[in-house]
Amino acid sequence: MRAMTDFVTESVQKFLKPIETNWQPTDFLPDSQNPDEFYIQIKELQAAAKGLSYDVLTVLVGDTITEEALPSYESWLSRLEGIHEEAETNPWKVWVRLWTAEENRHGDLLNKYLYLSGRVNMREFERSTQYLIADGFNIETGQDPYRNFIYTSFQELATNISHRRVATIAKQQGDSLLSKINGVISADEMRHAKAYMSFIKKIFEFDPNEVLVAFEDMMRKKIVMPAHFLRETGMDVGGLWGHFTDAAQRTGVYTAIDYANILKDLVSEWNLEGLTDLNEAGEKSRDYLVKLPMRLLKISERMVNPVNEYEFKWIGVRN
């Protein structure tokens, strides 16, 4: 981690945007300081949101709650080895804070959109958010930076896909504002994915065997999503997770095929097949990892789409 401090300093410049020029949630929302326009814009927003299907709306709410649990992610990244023991001015700490600041806009913007849309029981949404932050998350990566940056690479790509797909579907269903919102968020996620992938790429230069072993270990345990503990009122921890992923799979917003394809992209981005001069453990892990995407793709292609249409408290009765 210390060997990479210059690299991280450059990454802050390269992958994160200055606050002065970065987009803000307000840029996409009705302007409450302009009373003449405000109510007209809200009416337009609500009219467009009426066309969103139940499944897409539930996925959007789940995605928003995942973004809103950002305090958990910041505290988790701050605990990593090579970060937690450093001074506040350390480039890794700067990275974590600036990344958090950028991410904070995602939950802000989506939350405000959902509130204005009139389609969501905001109190239930807020309770689910509070539950998710209170329940925390356990992704079994410990404080190891290798495992955790493999995780963030994976996760940023996954959120890029899901926000991008919601953008496409929202457009098809006549909500161009939501489409724009999800488009701009998904572009952020891609920028972040590139950063975390570059961290791992750099680590490959120093320590290829250990990073391969870490990667294999992560994939054997499977990448657990940050909203794994999702629930709503009256449920045990994680009770809502299956219903949320069912809706994501059904709408095609995020599927088992995407999981396999993300892995495939990471294997090629880090050029696993081209790695030589490895020790025995490293070779074993590399061989396992290069074959895994095809194996997962075959399994996912045989999966049937879930049909159980759950009624979420966030939205209420299906119609």
Interface ranges with Fe ion (CB under 5 A): 67, 103, 106, 156, 189, 192
Is residue 243 part of the annotated active site? The answer reads: no
Is residue 236 part of the annotated active site? The answer reads: no
> What is the spatial distance between Cα 108 and Cα 132, in angstroms, rounded to a whole number?
16
Q: At what angle do helices 208-221 and 145-172 cross, to 10 degrees?
A: 50
Asked if residues 226 and 139 have their Cβ atoms less than 8 Å apart, the reply is yes
User: Of 189, 216, 232, 246, which is the active-site residue?
Assistant: 189
Q: In angstroms, give the least distance from the CB of 228 to Fe ion.
A: 16
> What is the spatial distance between Cα 175 and Cα 72, in angstroms, rounded to a whole number?
31
Is residue 159 part of the annotated active site? The answer reads: yes
Residue 147, CA distances (Å) to 120, 209, 292 in order: 36, 13, 18
Q: Which is nearer to Fe ion, 147 or 192 (CB)?
A: 192
Q: Which is nearer to Fe ion, 55 or 103 (CB)?
A: 103
Q: Which is nearer to Fe ion, 128 or 155 (CB)?
A: 155
Q: In angstroms, give the least distance from the CB of 113 to Fe ion.
A: 14
User: Of 66, 68, 106, 255, which is the active-site residue?
Assistant: 106
Q: What residue has token string 């996620």?
A: 189
CA angle in degrees (0–180, nearest 5) for 248-151-259: 35
Quote the distance between the C-alpha of residue 190 and its chain's center. 10
Which residue number has the CB closest to Fe ion?
A: 106
Q: In angstroms, give the least distance from the CB of 197 to Fe ion.
A: 13
Q: Which is nearer to Fe ion, 55 or 189 (CB)?
A: 189
Q: What residue has token string 């496409």?
A: 168
Q: In angstroms, give the least distance from the CB of 246 to Fe ion.
A: 22
Asked if residues 254 and 158 have their Cβ atoms less than 8 Å apart, the reply is yes
Q: In angstroms, give the least distance from the CB of 189 to Fe ion.
A: 4
User: Of 55, 68, 188, 232, which is the active-site residue?
Assistant: 188
Q: Which is nearer to Fe ion, 65 or 247 (CB)?
A: 65
User: Of 156, 175, 216, 258, which is the active-site residue?
Assistant: 156
Q: What residue has token string 């689910």?
A: 128
Residues that are catalytic:
23, 67, 103, 106, 156, 159, 188-189, 192
